[in-house]
Structure 1
Amino acid sequence: MDRATELVPLHYVSLGAKGPEDVISDPQGRVLTGVADGRILRLHHPGDPRTARVEVLAETGGRPLGLELLPDGDLLVCDAERGLLRVSTAGDGAVRVLADSVAGEPLRFCSNAVALPDGSVYATVSSRRHPLDRWIADIVEHTGTGRLLRLGPDGGEPEVLLEGMQFANGLAASADGSFLVIAETGSCRLTRYGLSGPGAGRAEPFADLPGMPDNLWRAGPDGPIWVALASPRVPPLGLLHRTPPGVRRAAARAAVHAPYRPSGTTGVVAVDDRGRTVHRLTRRRSRFRMVTSVCVTGDHLVLGSLWERGVAVCALPADG
């Protein structure tokens, strides 16, 4: 699908806190997210601004990013400061650290995770060089220090499966569980990593995208993989990435101190298990900027953002 259709905004729900970076929905249609002050929030009735309300589930003590709902209702939380966590949603908000180091170094900038039926957990690390508050430096420098990790069913220290990724970010499993799809924000692409069969242990291109992908979300094996586009492609950035490392490092130092305002073009796409685009939705001059996540609840799309102080609720395509 080459032609984009309009992303139709319906309403905005304030959360009273900045940066709902990842949004996921639960079987009851509620939306869960983590915000900059370390809290995990649950939004009830997101489709109706008159009855929408926000509930605090837990506080991680760090900066929660990617979330994954587990079969028992608990949450896997990728915390940019504390590592990979398990958070209870039963009422006590208990937080347990599953992994805080990998290959002899602290697990920092853990970005997204997915749990498979065998009890194993896979997670991405966006950068080993720059922390979350300097994310733009990694995008500009193009460090290629992103990782894919695996934590076995019995826990322990994560295993490094894949290195050299350009800002490894969102993560989703194929319908049959035979491969993972990884968002590489810095390269505007999705990468496939084989878990079983002839392609096991091998990474290969899955889909090129019209922008920089962030979090991925999938309701189940029957649905597509939804991809949030945090920014359109930036052609000068692509040219910069071809320059020597010293030039990129200098540009990254300047970018960290330069004023930043996200693009007004908002976008999400949905792809199937062959990497084909089944939905491409965009909105220009959007007041809701830097879409870092998207999920479906009922007949709505809910958008999260590292930049905003709430979520945007949009219309789901008719065949969504």
Structure 2
Amino acid sequence: MILVAGFVAYATLWPSRFDPVAWQAPPVHALDSDTRPMSALTRLGIGAGTGPETVAIGPEGRLYAGYADGTIRRFDADKATGRSDGQVFATTNGRPLGLAFGPPLPRAKQHQRPDGTSRADRTVADADNAASGDASPGSQRATLYVADADQGLLAINRKGQITELTSSANGRPFGFTDDVTVAKDGRVYFTDASSRWPHTAYRTAILEHHGDGRLLRYDPKTGRTDVLLDGLQFANGVALGPDDAYVLVTETGAYRVTRYWLTGPHAGAHDVFIDDLPGFPDGIDADTAHRGFWIALFAPRNTVLDFAAPYPWLREVIHRLPSWLKPAPAHVGHIVHVANNGHVISQRIDDRNNAYAPITSVTPAGQWLYLGSLETDAIGRVPAQP
């Protein structure tokens, strides 16, 4: 008892920059929808690296993913079954997370970052682009925009040359640039999950619940970065609605998805798109026919964390615990399909020991859904129609 009391005193009184905020977790509600197993999953690019968090489909139809070692690799999906290193397209020297293709940058904005992709990698990428036709002048969405947790918002051209676009807004540097999507007009929407904690401390940021996430917009024509929403609870995935009328952002720490209106009578306002999710929402992507969105749930909600939500002192104690004693995410693969009105259409769950989990993104492409993960060593692929 003395040791426990001493640890609690240390956890609550010893100075720390961890500053938890009291809040009330919403009740847990099971989703009322068609629930199916995550069947017929294939792992692609096994062993290429750790943590292909987001999968983007290039203009030539290949898969692009960023890894913990700072590389962005691309794969031919039909040849990547089993073990495959893919091909290094670029190296950010950071942690590339969100990826999205968009129009080329204005020529005046283009420059190569000296410490970016190596000359050898650029030579290989250049030759491969030429062989695949990706380097054709007519390719209108051949620039890869990258939300790099360490480096900020980047743009990478067809040769793998990197341009730093922005790393701060309103005088506040990005702490954890997380996801990105590109509108038809070329403007880039992206998130800063936390300005207080880096990506290596994502669990700490969520446990703290400080509300220091942001939804941002970068205009390549002007170089301006605007803050659309501030005070978000770990701003994570981002996706555009039909006709770019609104943008959605997942708030992982609040179990919800928030909608920010870009056009129409509600332009500039925001509301809740879907809330009370049964897990931590991570990536969100529009389906290929704009009939809704796919949401990746990183893990189910944790009873201990929800109980501790109103008690900052208890979360101080949890924060100070050894890593092996802290509440850990359950190993469950879970994706949810929602309609454009936020109503749940269906969900797929895999809670087996060998489940592909945690799932951080769902990228629809034709007959397939490509799954990303922060911790696995492969890209997942499942049929779009189970």
TM-score (ref. length: structure 2) = 0.76
Distance 2:323 2:307 in 1: 19
Shift of 1:317: 1.9
Distance 1:47 1:121 in 2: 31
Q: What SS does the aligned partner of 1:302 have?
A: strand
Distance 1:242 1:46 in 2: 49
Mapped contact 2:96–2:149 kept (Cα < 8 A): yes
Correspondence list, 1:146-295, <5 A: 146-208=213-275, 209-220=277-288, 222-244=290-312, 246-254=313-321, 258=325, 262-287=329-354, 288-295=356-363
Distance 1:50 1:18, change over 3 A: closer
Mapped contact 1:30–1:297 kept (Cα < 8 A): no
Correspondence list, 1:109-124, <5 A: 109-124=176-191
Q: What SS does the aligned partner of 1:158 have?
A: strand
Deviates more, 1:2-11 or 1:67-76: 2-11
Residue aligning to 1:307: 375
Distance 2:82 2:366 in 1: 16
Mapped contact 1:136–1:252 kept (Cα < 8 A): no
Distance 1:44 1:103 in 2: 41
Distance 1:307 1:259, change over 3 A: farther
2:361 alignment partner AA: S
1:223-257 Cα distance to aligned partner (Å, 9 max, x none): 4211111101223212222223x543443343767
Among 115, 118, 143, the residue aligned to 2:210: 143
Mapped contact 1:15–1:54 kept (Cα < 8 A): no
Unaligned runs of 5+ in 2: 1-31, 104-140
Residue aligning to 2:152: 83
Shift of 1:204: 1.1
Distance 1:300 1:52 in 2: 19
Distance 2:365 2:245 in 1: 26
Distance 1:46 1:164 in 2: 42
Mapped contact 1:137–1:253 kept (Cα < 8 A): no
1:270 alignment partner AA: H
Shift of 1:121: 1.5
Residue aligning to 1:70: 102
1:77-129 Cα distance to aligned partner (Å, 9 max, x none): 000111000012x2x21010010122223223111112212222111111111
Shift of 1:194: 1.1
2:101 is equivalent to residue 32 of structure 1: no
Deviates more, 1:259-268 or 1:226-235: 259-268
Mapped contact 2:72–2:88 kept (Cα < 8 A): yes
2:244 alignment partner AA: G
Structure 1 or 2: larger helix share? 2
Mapped contact 2:48–2:84 kept (Cα < 8 A): no
1:26 alignment partner AA: G
Distance 1:47 1:285, change over 3 A: farther
Q: Provide the identity percentage.
A: 35
Mapped contact 2:278–2:301 kept (Cα < 8 A): yes
Bigger Rg, structure 1 or 2: 2
2:132 is equivalent to residue 100 of structure 1: no
Q: What SS does the aligned partner of 2:175 have?
A: coil
How many residues are treated as equivalent by the alignment?
Answer: 315
1:11 alignment partner AA: T
Distance 1:239 1:80 in 2: 30
Distance 1:117 1:188, change over 3 A: same
Distance 1:53 1:18 in 2: 11
Distance 1:224 1:40, change over 3 A: same
2:160 is equivalent to residue 129 of structure 1: no
Residue aligning to 2:51: 19
Distance 2:43 2:155 in 1: 29
Shift of 1:10: 2.9
1:279-311 Cα distance to aligned partner (Å, 9 max, x none): 211111242221111112342222111111111
Mapped contact 2:215–2:228 kept (Cα < 8 A): yes
Unaligned runs of 5+ in 1: none
2:238 alignment partner AA: L
Residue aligning to 1:41: 73
TM-score (ref. length: structure 1) = 0.90
